[in-house]
Structure 1
């Protein structure tokens, strides 16, 4: 088992943002969240990461209520990369990544070999090892995003949650980042805007609309022309890719 949500409801004031959401992330698989702006994707991710508590329903981590798990223990297990993640200080890349080790260290513990191996492994996997001594402010947008993912990986998580990680990146960095995440041997939950990226890289999809899940399943079972019309208000043709079994979406004028 991994992360599971059961009948989640979450509100801001009197406005219901999530309404009866039930879902489960399969261990070691990549789950994509899709939906128009305002559909509740970010709110769901924050609940799954234990950063917010639902008004009703529950989030469980291996059958344990996440609301009863202390924050430090959650951070050892789940890494969350927010949509507008930033780093204010002009640190070196390696120092940003080292921040990911905080949940594993006590106030008085020194830097250990395990910490060093986790950081070096995260830098390597995120493709930032050669940039380790570069300053944060000198990085490109794609490099900054990879650094944030490296910091998340330095937490040694079993679950990785990302909120629209490809926003504002050029196409080369978008594809590279999606390939990086899909190749990770951990559970990942990723909110996305690009439907073809979701179809290409995700093992399963959840489609959200107005705070509810309206469809879920494998990309080829979920992404249909009628769903794209009804949920996203777009006219498109959904075809099988000649290179793999995943669907490909052609947008129509």
Structure 2
């Protein structure tokens, strides 16, 4: 296992956002995180990335509590792509990707061949080689997301955490981006809104409701008619897709 959450609880003031959450990722899998708005998905991802500290419980990497790991070492190991990741300066794409090498360098160290190789490989893997010298402001939304993923890959992580990376993208770019992530030789934890995309691309799904895990398993095990009613308040038909065999959800109505 790589990332393990052991009975973690996290609060804002007296309000419990995450309540006794426990699970473990499997090396190389794509774990989809689902749940209604306000269920605690973003908070959980930020805890897994070490950006927040649980009030109780622990998060570990290969058995080591992340609170005992330095921020630099965490950044070398785990990459986090936020939902609203942005770059204010009008840099070239290649310069954005180079930012991913910061955790591996000291303040005064020279740029190395290893750094350059990591950047070139990240650009290639994210499909951004042709855009390497384009300015940030000239990129489409999908291209910007790919550039941020390339920056994350330049960190050479073993795990990548993504918070709804397909938000505000058209369907073509959503599919392309999820295909890219699913093909990465990394453990990935990704929050998604689209249940059919989650079923299509994720190896396992973890479902949150009001800060608690209510289901965890394969898409076939998790995406049932009853769960869709109980968690998402929708009536739907669930049947295997003729194209990929994963569950295909056909929504019929919301439950008021």
TM category (shorter chain) comes to: over 0.9
Match of 2:34 in 1: 34
Structure 2 unaligned spans of 5+: none
Which stretches of structure 1, 4 residues or more, deviate above 4 A after TM superposition?
none
Instruction: Please report the RMSD computed on the Cα atoms of aligned residues, expressed in angstroms.
Output: 0.6
SS in 2 for 1:84: coil
* SS of equivalent to 1:250: strand
> Do residues 145 (structure 1) and 141 (structure 2) align?
no
**Partners of 2:14 and 2:244 in 1: CA distance:** 46
TM-score, length of structure 1 as denominator length: 0.99
Which residue does 2:63 correspond to in 1? Answer: 63
Number of equivalenced pairs: 253
SS at match of 2:9: strand
Q: Over residues 141-187 of structure 1, what are the superposed CA-to-partner deviations in whole Å (9 max), with x where a residue is unaligned?
A: 00000000000000000000000000000000000000000000010
1:243 deviation in Å?
2.1
Provide the rounded CA distance (Å) in 1 between the counterparts of 2:230 and 2:195.
Answer: 15
- C-alpha separation between the residues in 2 aligned to 1:110 and 1:238? 55
Partner of 1:184: 184
Say yes or no: does 1:200 pair with 2:200. Answer: yes
Partner of 2:111: 111
Match in the other structure for 2:94? 94
**1:10 equivalenced with 2:10 (yes/no):** yes
> The residue matched to 1:252 in structure 2 has which SS?
strand
1:242, distance to aligned residue in structure 2 (A):
1.2
Instruction: Spell out the pairing of 1:119-134 with structure 2 (5 A cutoff).
Output: 119-134=119-134
1:87 aligned counterpart, secondary structure: coil
1-side partners of 2:130 and 2:234: how far apart? 42
Q: Do residues 214 (structure 1) and 214 (structure 2) align? A: yes
1:244 Cα shift? Answer: 2.4
Match of 1:5, SS? Answer: strand
